[in-house]
A = this chain, B = another copy of it.
Amino acid sequence: MVKSPKISASREPGGLIVHISGLLPSLSPAEQRVARLVVADPADAARRTITDLATAAETSEATVIRFCRSVGMDGYPQLRIRLAAEAARRVEPPDARVVGGDIPPGADLAQIIATIAFNDARAVEETAEQLDPAVCEQVVETISAAGRIDVYGAGASGFVASDFQQKLHRIGRTAFYFPDVHTALTSAALLGRGDVAIGISHTGTTSDVIEVLEQARSRGATTVALTNFPRSPITEVADLVLTTAARETTYRSGATASRLAQLTVVDCLFVGVAARNRARAKRALEATAEAVRGHRVGPGRRRG
């Protein structure tokens, strides 16, 4: 027997609610009561059980089912998930985050977290957007072919430098990092053609790093700079320049966003180098992972 008209809602991309309210007048009174509840608060409706919803609409479960069919659903469960999905989508769009700016003086932790995360994520994304793949490619190539790699950085950028060094080392490249300027200078003096010196400085004005890069360059090494400012002094002593895109909020002198951006770049270079020789990199990584295995304890399942 031919059942109800059944309006197709199978693919109502964004408009289940709209769809329902559209055919609201064509529904029977009892179904309308259900429909109104659903339209008024989809998320809430999705949470209810069919009996619950029926009671709320002062009707029977049967009517709710009929309503489901009327709007083109197979049954109640399907309606439920669609409603949940619908409700979730129509929540966020208008983003009310504290964009870009500083952290307001009276902010609570939740606000602080949202702001920082937003800026950090932003810095990462924007950095990626403005990174020049061609330059990256050259850097990757240079590193891959290098006899020795020195990574320089001071202060906050020192962590990044150190990190990069460690990463390269893990995939079997000969890389160094020096926390101390004198040692760094010494090392730079020993570089030569075919070697690489990478200087990291957010501001691009850190004289120590610039000086070391200069030294390295004068010895014939290829120099690479990673900075946030494309025309800062450090770029003048670098053969290849990579830039980050971070806008720091004044309150975070630690240069956090910039550091995340730097790490992202380092990461890209690292993966690029590793991808050059998958097999070798993989072997090296596995070996290093194996090495620390003894320092791991078993997975701590639920507390017994």
Contacts and interface: CB of A to CB of B under 8 A. Distances in A.
Contact of A301 (B103, B118, B231): B231
A252 B267 contact: yes
Contact of A136 (B92, B113, B167): B113
A112 interface: yes
B82 A232 contact: no
A1 interface: no
Nearest to A209: B295
Interface in A286-304: 288-289, 292, 295-304
A129 B117 CA distance: 9
Interface string A66-109: 00000000000100111011111101100000000001010111
Which among A116, A133, A235 has the greatest number of chain B C-beta atoms within 10 A?
A116
Interface in A238-281: 251-254, 256, 259-260, 263-264, 267-268, 270-272, 274-275, 278
Contacts of A82: 84
A16 to B, nearest CB: 11
Interface stretch (A53-61, A183-191, A198-206): A198-206
Contacts of A162: 159
Interface in A195-239: 203-208, 210, 229-236
B103 A271 contact: yes
Contacts of A103: 271, 275
Contacts of A77: 49, 80
B92 A301 contact: no
A273 to B, nearest CB: 10
Interface of A: 4-5, 25-26, 46-47, 49, 77, 80-82, 84-89, 91-92, 103, 105, 107-110, 112-114, 116-118, 120-122, 124-125, 127-129, 131, 133, 136-137, 140, 154-156, 159, 162-163, 166-167, 170, 203-208, 210, 229-236, 251-254, 256, 259-260, 263-264, 267-268, 270-272, 274-275, 278, 285, 288-289, 292, 295-304
20 contacts: A4-B302, A25-B299, A47-B81, A49-B77, A85-B88, A89-B89, A109-B137, A110-B133, A112-B268, A116-B271, A121-B125, A159-B159, A231-B302, A232-B299, A233-B298, A234-B300, A236-B300, A251-B274, A256-B263, A260-B264
